Amino acid sequence: MTNRIQIFDTTLRDGEQVPGCGLSKKEKIIIARALEDLGVDIIEAGFPISSPGDFEAVKAVSKEVKDVTVCALSRAVQKDIEVAAEALKYAQRPRIHTGIGTSDQHVFTKIKTTREDIIERARACVKHARKFVDDVEFYAEDAGRTDNEFLAQVIEAVIKEGATVVNIPDTTGYCLPEEYGKKIKYLVDHVDGIDKAIISTHCHNDLGLSTANSIEAIKNGARQVECTINGIGERAGNTSLEEVVMILKKHHWLNYETGINTRQLYPISQLVSTTMKMPVQPNKAIVGSNAFAHSSGIHQDGVIKNRDNYEIIDPAEVGVNESSIILTARSGRAALNFRIGKLGVQLSKDELEHVYERFLQVADRVTIVTDAELKNLVSKYLITNV
């Protein structure tokens, strides 16, 4: 089994479903280009039957990107599949992503049918999609809450019809990592013909477990991860692309690799945040504004001595210029001296002590001491040095 993990980005589809984050055709093209530069393997560009605008956007992205598979979503409905195929007509590598709910909750309460009917509909949609494209991905919606035995039957049936990728979504973000990993392993062990398809993981973050679940799925045999930039997506979001990629990179001894150019992670995070008008939380792993900011005295002292003391990622690796030493009332003399040094000012021990006392008074008042306030502090007491 190969250790190359396919990165399937669904920022333009599942991510774009977030209220207020809708994208125009032009904006989708800009983000698609950036995703191609980032090195994703598959871009899910949209859900063409959902609106004429999304149809046009998927068509435009298909024309625009060349080195990436372009995927379009459809329900297990013939018309959806035909419209998706039409939108993908110009794609060099088109993929149709079709599927249906498989959990008892979805089968009996949402679709109001039987398990037998679900298998028939699943089979039929893959068969229909294969008339238009060679690459067909099947999703078993709410697979996270689906009984494993039934899930295996559905997956076996769609692989027989020619599904090339089988997506096992934890649609409601319910599973625990161990449970989700076991689900993937169950499919690896019980589905006839599973080696003919790639298993894909698609996790939601309702319990904050989407990244952990995706990693567990990989360890148990999944070779495609569905994710979004900044983890944007329905409700609490989807698996965050930057987190999965950096986990695999930092734990290289696990022996998994992706095609992602990690130096593009921060720039694309900013692009998506601005375009979708969705701020990134400051403490967001990898791309948040505090991800490489140190503010307590003990940490600052450690980082100034050697960044490896408190940093497991070199900021440059993810496209951040450098880590920052934030001056607060919790900062010590080492941090203050470091930041004063950045202004080109060298202080003696006594001078530093003098400035430090004044600094603490300012820090208690303003919370974060800016460069301007620092210059003011230094110029007031050490005017000849500035």
Interacting residue ranges for Zn ion, rule: CB under 5 A: 14
Of these partners, ligand KIV, Zn ion, none, which one is at the site of residue 141 (CB under 5 to 8 Å by kind)?
ligand KIV
Each residue 93-132 as x (binds ligand KIV by CB under 6 A) or -, in order, gives ----------------------------------------
* In the complex, least distance from residue 106 CB atom to ligand KIV, rounded to whole angstroms: 10
DSSP 115-160: HHHHHHHHHHHHHHHHTT-SEEEEEEETGGGS-HHHHHHHHHHHHH
CA dist 329 and 167 (Å) reads 50
* In the complex, least distance from residue 207 CB atom to ligand KIV, rounded to whole angstroms: 14
Neighbours of 273 (CB within 10 A): 17
CB–CB of 275/24 below 8 Å? no
Q: Which phi and psi angles does 357 have, rounded to 5°?
A: -60, -45
Interaction residues for ligand KIV, span 8-67 (CB under 6 A): 14
Interaction residues for ligand KIV, span 248-307 (CB under 6 A): none
Q: Indicate which single residue of 8, 139, 174, 292 sits in contact with ligand KIV (rule: CB under 6 A).
A: 139
Of these partners, Zn ion, ligand KIV, none, which one is at the site of residue 8 (CB under 5 to 8 Å by kind)?
none
Of these partners, Zn ion, ligand KIV, none, which one is at the site of residue 299 (CB under 5 to 8 Å by kind)?
none
Q: Indicate which single residue of 169, 181, 231, 237 sits in contact with ligand KIV (rule: CB under 6 A).
A: 169
| Among 88-96, 164-172, 188-196, 325-333, the segment contacting ligand KIV (CB under 6 A) | 164-172
Largest CA distance in the chain: 85
* In the complex, least distance from residue 238 CB atom to ligand KIV, rounded to whole angstroms: 8
Cα torsion 257, 259, 261, 264: sign: negative
* In the complex, least distance from residue 213 CB atom to Zn ion, rounded to whole angstroms: 13
Amino acid present at 376:
N
Q: Which is nearer to ligand KIV, 202 or 223 (CB)?
A: 202
* In the complex, least distance from residue 97 CB atom to Zn ion, rounded to whole angstroms: 11
CA dist 121 and 337 (Å) reads 68
CA dist 156 and 122 (Å) reads 11
CA dist 45 and 278 (Å) reads 19
Q: Which is nearer to ligand KIV, 54 or 141 (CB)?
A: 141
Distances (CA, A) of 361 to 24, 64, 265, 328, 376: 50, 56, 38, 10, 13
> How distant is the alpha carbon of residue 294 from its chain centre?
24
Of these partners, ligand KIV, Zn ion, none, which one is at the site of residue 69 (CB under 5 to 8 Å by kind)?
none
* In the complex, least distance from residue 204 CB atom to Zn ion, rounded to whole angstroms: 6
Q: Which residues bind ligand KIV (CB under 6 A)?
A: 14, 139, 141, 167, 169, 171, 202, 204
